[in-house]
Amino acid sequence: MTDPKPKFDLEERTAKFGIAVIDFSRKIPETITTRPLISQFVRAGTSIGANYCEANDAESKRDFVHKIGICKKESRESMYWLHMIGMAVPAVKEQARKLWQEAKELNLIFGAIMKSSGYHKNV
């Protein structure tokens, strides 16, 4: 009997995002302006999944929360670089917007994980 509700696999979702980041980055024309944007975006976007894998192998709850925090920061940084790429290359703006939405959803997911883990940001 198959499970009617598919399992939510965040490791797979972050890997798919990383692959989408790589694919999208190849479509951006390389110029003196876009080269550093692409580089920063690829680093941030692909590190989300890597840090999530590390979080799953964390040595303590504190280590887990720290690594999830890095995932949250990298997803937010990906949103920033997508915004900059969209401004620098209007022709890819619509594709950037779709990836931006996924980065935002990942950011919200990691924020919820942090909150449910008992992390409270000191303001």
Q: Residue 101: give its domain's CATH number.
A: 1.20.1440.60
Q: Please choose, from the candidates 39, 43, 46, the residue with its C-alpha nearest in 3D space to the C-alpha of residue 20.
A: 46
Q: Would you say residue 3 lies in a domain?
A: no
How many domains is the chain built from? Answer: 1
Q: What tokens were used for 80? A: 């920033």
pTM of the model: 0.88
Mean pLDDT is lowest, of 39-43, 93-97, 113-117, for: 113-117
Torsion angle, alpha carbons of 50, 63, 73, 33, to 10: -50
- Identify whether 2 is part of a domain: no
> Which three-class secondary structure state does DSSP give residue 22?
helix
Predicted confidence (pLDDT) at residue 123 exceeds the cutoff of 70:
no
More confident site: 42 or 8 = 42
| 110-74-81 Cα angle (round to 5) | 130
Tell me the chain's radius of gyration from C-alpha atoms.
16
Residue 57 lies in domain: 10-116
